Chains A and B, each alone.
Chain A
């Protein structure tokens, strides 16, 4: 399979504090890589480095052969092909659900409105929110907002989807709706990076699990095998605790 993302010795520091300490990782098209591990080990920061929301202090990131550093136009070119879903949704509150989904394709990708609208409406069916198309974010539950955010990311036809703890800010009741949509996307063969604490989801849906602790990748491999029995003591202990 074609490799779409390559991280080589990635280092991220905030001042004197090291957040990522030499992360190397290659991701091929169609992979669903789930990042798990204790809070504060740099999982979210790793995603944010990939689309240039954070600058890096060392190493290299390349997305579809394009370096994601330095030159702002190269970073923007990468961002146009990477969809990101945030923990707190970050929908645009002054726009309706439909307008939220249509904004980037129309403004950033300069696509025709009618085409974008047709695609957006189909996406609302996919995320099971066709009835909420004209609602404003403040009128929707967290689970609904997150599914709109997923539709918003999908509407730009991204080559990679990045989920940054997509269910961490949700009521337990609505977590399932969001995970169902993410399962559907996995079945379509989308390439996804998912930072999550939902170990069961990672084991069911993921094609690879990456366990991070203290700014490094400690272990990676088949999610089911890792949940059944990880190689390293640290991963075994974490996955054992969280899985119950």
Chain B
């Protein structure tokens, strides 16, 4: 078993990279969707809400199969398991993140928009200098949760043959004649990674809140 540790750690890196990329794309996509929702144009909002509800209600595995088997058929392009997995995870994360970012924006009081408008700030200026910095504090904690979920869901990529952490663990198990130990090791690696992410998230949160009980004032104004 010991000889397989380097392999396990290397594939843990693969899982981290896949999840990080999916989360990054998901966060960017989710933010874009949340900003689109801000525009007061009903058809646009329906499209965004439809997208969100769709990806929230469909199991990731189905999206993954569609990306891996369906897209090549439809578009006649070859899709690697890595691209398919990244795409499926990012689509799913973007739906959740758009909810998270929307809630963050909504948490900033109306008075902040009015103060900015009265001072002549344009919409992008208001967003960048006044709303986003305050919304970020509300957005960050659940985003860490979304990242952890994405990382756990990335184990589904093993099903379409992508050699990430779970797949590696199962291969190790096969080559060591089955048994319980490889599964235990696999679980331990996932735990360590996710626990670390959650700690980094908590530290970031503490840093953002230093000396400013902003939530309180922002809610009032």
Interface positions of A (Cβ within 8 A of B): 51-53, 76, 79-80, 82-84, 86, 88-94, 103-104, 107-109, 136-139, 152-153, 156
* CA gap between A86 and B133 in the complex, in Å: 22
Contacting pair B118 A92 (CB below 8 A): no
Residues of A within 8 A of B212 (CB): 93-94, 136, 138
A interface SS class: loop
Residues of A within 8 A of B115 (CB): 84, 86, 90-92
Residues of B within 8 A of A109 (CB): 120
Q: A61 → chain B, closest Cβ, in Å?
A: 15
Residues of B within 8 A of A107 (CB): 121, 125, 129
Q: A84 → chain B, closest Cβ, in Å?
A: 4
Other than the given A93-B214, A104-B119, 8 more pairs (CB < 8 A) read A51-B118, A79-B118, A82-B118, A88-B220, A93-B216, A107-B129, A109-B120, A137-B217
* Number of chain B residues whose Cβ lies closer than 8 Å to a Cβ of chain A: 24
Q: Which of A51, A108, A152 contacts B121 (CB 8 A)?
A: A108
- 8 A-B residue pairs with Cβ-Cβ distance under 8 Å, sorted by A, are A88-B220, A93-B221, A94-B218, A103-B129, A104-B120, A107-B125, A109-B120, A136-B212
B interface SS class: helix
A138 touching B221 in the complex, CB below 8 Å, given contacts A79-B119, A80-B120: no
Q: Which of B118, B129, B130 contacts A53 (CB 8 A)?
A: B118
* CA gap between A52 and B212 in the complex, in Å: 32
Residues of B within 8 A of A53 (CB): 114, 117-118
* CA gap between A83 and B117 in the complex, in Å: 11
